[in-house]
Amino acid sequence: MNSRAVRLIAGTVLKESLRRREMYVLVFAACSLLAIILSMDFFGLRGLSKFYREISLRVMGLTTAFAVIVLAARQLPRELENRTIYPLLARPIRRAEFLLGKLTGVLLAGILCFALFMFIFVLGSLRMHVHIPWIHFLQHLYLQVLMLAIVATLGFLLSLLVNTDAAITICTLLFLLSAVSSMMLVNLYGYMDWLGRRVLIFLTYFLPQLTLFDLSEKTVHAEQWPPLQASVLLTLSLYASVYIALYFIGALVLFRRKEL
């Protein structure tokens, strides 16, 4: 594995994402929304931490996921359309390294997006005298990065199977509907016959349950709930790794088959 090549490609993706300014626009729009909501007067009461946390984490998660989905789904088609992939692959870089570099770059862009939000969140918390439950908050960020990695690799895979717009749409739907779909599967199970139940079990394991990477509710109500145990974080990391590996291998197989 040529780690220098991976770093180089990742750096290029990160620079490109910064140069295109899409992320800034998203962060700016999200922060403006946050500022409008939080500047509302809530009956003169101050120090209402749960509402602030809830809105901030939701906006943060949505915006970053959307930025990562768009970035990931566009990477390969754009390289192919602009033919910028040819000089890159003419170098001694394997396709796996190329793909890994792209994934790393996309995730770094997502982490940068999170970092920008975190900075604003912390500033806002200090200004509003709101307590930050750091352990919960950092665990939530870690799980969100795992979730972004799943979504990004899925974006790569789908962008090689369908067109870019479809890939973005499918990933966005999967992300937005993750909480609803998980609850729907659970609640439908009791009403299904034998075959229907087998289908639900298949869907439960086939689709990544992205809601498992959302610790925002416990972070909002952190005063009542302890942080996650290390064993739970480890299990979630393994669970995410399986999907990341599967999607990555799938994308790699399709990418290798692609005639350039």
Query: Is residue 237 within the footprint of other proteins (CB under 8 A)?
Result: no
Nearer to other proteins, 90 or 230 (CB): 230
Nearer to other proteins, 1 or 230 (CB): 230
Query: Is residue 142 within the footprint of other proteins (CB under 8 A)?
Result: no
Residue 98 Cβ, how far from other proteins at the closest point, in Å?
A: 26
Of 10-18, 26-34, 164-172, 227-235, which segment contacts other proteins by CB under 8 A? 227-235
Residue 165 Cβ, how far from other proteins at the closest point, in Å?
A: 18
How far is the C-alpha of 122 from the C-alpha of 225, rounded, in Å? 21
Burial of residue 118 (CB within 10 Å: 0-12, 13-18, 19+) is: middle
Residue 102, phi then psi, degrees to nearest 5: -60, -45
Q: Where are the beta strands (DSSP E) in 61-212?
A: none
Residue 223 is classified by DSSP as T
Query: Is residue 24 within the footprint of other proteins (CB under 8 A)?
Result: no
How far is the C-alpha of 116 from the C-alpha of 45, rounded, in Å? 28
> How far, in Å, are 32, 56, 66, 124, 131 from residue 35 at the CA level?
5, 10, 20, 9, 18
Contact set for other proteins, span 186-205 (CB under 8 A): 186-187, 189, 197, 200-201, 204-205
Taking residues 60 to 99 in sequence order and writing x for each that binds other proteins by CB under 8 A, - otherwise, the string is: ----------------------------------------
Give Dmax over CA atoms of the chain in angstroms. Answer: 64
Selected from 3, 235, 237, 241, the binder of other proteins by CB under 8 A is 235
- Contact status, residue 87 vs residue 129, Cβ threshold 8 Å: no
**Position 114, amino acid:** F
Query: Is residue 40 within the footprint of other proteins (CB under 8 A)?
Result: yes
Query: Is residue 211 within the footprint of other proteins (CB under 8 A)?
Result: yes
Residue 20 Cβ, how far from other proteins at the closest point, in Å?
A: 12
User: Which among 90, 74, 228 has a CA at the least distance from the CA of 152?
Assistant: 74
Query: Is residue 226 within the footprint of other proteins (CB under 8 A)?
Result: no
Based on its alpha-carbon atoms, the radius of gyration of the chain, rounded to whole angstroms, reads: 20
Query: Is residue 1 within the footprint of other proteins (CB under 8 A)?
Result: no
Query: What element of type H or E holds 38?
Result: helix 22-38
Of 6-14, 97-105, 109-117, 183-191, which segment contacts other proteins by CB under 8 A? 183-191
Burial of residue 38 (CB within 10 Å: 0-12, 13-18, 19+) is: middle
Of 66-74, 111-119, 145-153, 216-224, which segment contacts other proteins by CB under 8 A? 216-224
Question: Residue for token digits 């192919």?
Answer: 80
- Contact status, residue 95 vs residue 12, Cβ threshold 8 Å: no
Query: Is residue 236 within the footprint of other proteins (CB under 8 A)?
Result: yes
Q: How many residues bind other proteins (CB under 8 A)?
A: 47
**Contacts to other proteins by CB under 8 A:** 37, 40-51, 129-131, 143, 182-183, 185-187, 189, 197, 200-201, 204-205, 209, 211-215, 217-218, 220-221, 223-225, 228-229, 232, 235-236, 239
